[in-house]
Amino acid sequence: MHTFCDIPEEQLRRERQKAREMRRSQWWRNRIATGLCHYCGGRFSPDQLTLDHIVPLVRGGRSSRGNCVPACKECNTRKRDLLPTEWQEYLDTLARS
């Protein structure tokens, strides 16, 4: 596990709570209704898409509309497991294919 820099626990709690509220919002339902994964561009049914923070909360990202995107489970899992540089390489591979 990486050690993350100084994001106060209280901020993380607040942003996670906001993310939960976003998942219930009409805005989010409209986003996943398109069925598109933000990263790989694949088509999925709405229940297969998860809410992903482009900049993870533990790295200081916020639960804002600009930072929350639909991601398929595969992209979400990879993003969680890869280092930021490795994730960028994965995105570059997708862009080339």
Applying CB under 5 A, does 69 fall inside the site for Zn ion? Answer: no
Q: Using CB under 5 A, pick the residue from 49, 70, 75, 79 that binds Zn ion.
A: 75
Say how many C-beta atoms besides its own lie within 10 A of residue 14's C-beta: 14
CA distance 61 to 85: 17
Cα 45 to chain centroid, rounded: 17
In the complex, minimum distance from the CB of residue 91 to Zn ion, in angstroms, rounded to a whole number: 10
Choices 30-38, 51-59, 62-70, 83-91 (CB under 5 A): range interacting with Zn ion: 30-38
Which residue in this structure is represented by tokens 């993350």?
A: 4
Q: Which residues contact Zn ion (rule: CB under 5 A)?
A: 37, 39-40, 72, 75
